Homo-oligomer: A and B are copies of this chain.
Amino acid sequence: MNERSFSTGTRMAQANISEPPVQPDHRSVEILDGVRRAFSEKGFDGASMQDLARSCGMSVGNFYRYFPSKAAIVAALILRDLAEMEQSFRAILASDDPLSGLRATVRFRVSEASCIGEGQLWAEITAAALRKAEISAVTTHMEHEIVGYLTAIFAKVKGIDPEAARDRYYPQAMLIIMLVKSASMHPAENSVTQTRLTDLLLRTIDRTIDDVAADDLKGRTYA
């Protein structure tokens, strides 16, 4: 947990909600959608820089000017996802009942997991992160940012300092991330089985949130 990984959560907790989110330009969206597709089709190692450049209609030379390495591409994809998530977490944090908002957002992400097709990219990046330090740095940063969003919500609900909430509820936040990721990486089941599995995943996440809500704040750490 480095200084940088605290930034978003803390910034969110300080909640300058009026600050407008950065809107990525049309061309960046096209490029990132292209490389995302190429990674899903060929895998992280299978997709060459040439494949990636071609996927967004660029010459290899020009593509290298945007992204000098695959780690740079992953960083760009993750930054975009984080920007989207930050918007939705800001809205949750500003609402009257942040825990209900959180439950609804998680419910949406887990239920739609197999449709969105995020899982494939996540599986590729998870595998690459375990092999390559520069990818690991980017994914760890992302997970710590999401931990920051989640524990900022817990801080508000419990009426405690965001940093104290981050320390106290880090395991709960990480478990929620793991369950959402697992859901997205799980291959589609038949619809009855899928519904039952999704329900159990959501119940497990809800229980984790219930435990935070019921925590009496005694003891140095929780879990």
A positions within 8 Å CB-CB of B: 1, 40-46, 119-120, 123-124, 126-131, 136, 139-140, 170-172, 174-175, 178-179, 181-183, 185-187, 193, 196-197, 199-201, 203-204, 207-208, 221, 223
Contact, CB under 8 Å: B171 / A197: yes
A-B contact pairs, 20 of them (CB 8 A): A42-B45, A43-B43, A43-B127, A120-B127, A120-B130, A120-B131, A123-B126, A129-B187, A136-B187, A171-B193, A171-B197, A172-B200, A174-B186, A174-B197, A175-B197, A178-B182, A178-B201, A179-B182, A199-B223, A204-B208
- A35 CB to nearest chain B CB (Å): 15
- A209 CB to nearest chain B CB (Å): 13
For A183, give the chain B residue with the smallest CB separation.
B178
Contact, CB under 8 Å: B174 / A131: no
Contact, CB under 8 Å: B204 / A223: no
- How many subunits of this chain does the assembly comprise? 2
Cα A140 to Cα B187 with chains together (Å): 8
- A91 CB to nearest chain B CB (Å): 27
- A213 CB to nearest chain B CB (Å): 16
Most chain B CB within a 10 A radius of its CB, from A136, A139, A182? A182
What B residues does A199 contact at CB under 8 A?
A: 171, 223
Contact, CB under 8 Å: B44 / A43: yes
- A34 CB to nearest chain B CB (Å): 17
What B residues does A119 contact at CB under 8 A?
A: 130
